[in-house]
Amino acid sequence: MKKSFYLYVLTFRGGDWSDSKVRFAEEMFHEHNFPKQSTDFDELSTYIESFATDNLTTGVFDELWALYVDHA
């Protein structure tokens, strides 16, 4: 079974804060309504677009999604 995007991104937590992927992971972790079980690009993208912050951005999401697809 494919790991959810959320679980994949959590692997970036605890890294160097200067890395935007690390900041995204930390922010995502604290978002209680984040779709944690999702593997669907459209569902996740819509969520990010709706609830974007300084660290939870569509640009970083796209970068992480590309990595997720390559590693899944």
pLDDT tens digits, one per residue of 7-21: 999 999 999 999 999
Whose structure tokens read 């690390």? 22
Sign of CA dihedral 38, 21, 33, 54: negative
Yes or no: say if 44 and 61 are a contact pair by the CB < 8 Å rule.
Answer: yes
What predicted TM-score, i.e. pTM, was given to this entire model? Answer: 0.92
pLDDT digits (tens, 9 = 90+) for 45-67: 999 999 999 999 999 999 999 99
CATH topology for 5-71 is: DNA polymerase; domain 1 (1.10.150)
Where do we find the tokens 């999702």?
A: 38
pLDDT at 40: 97
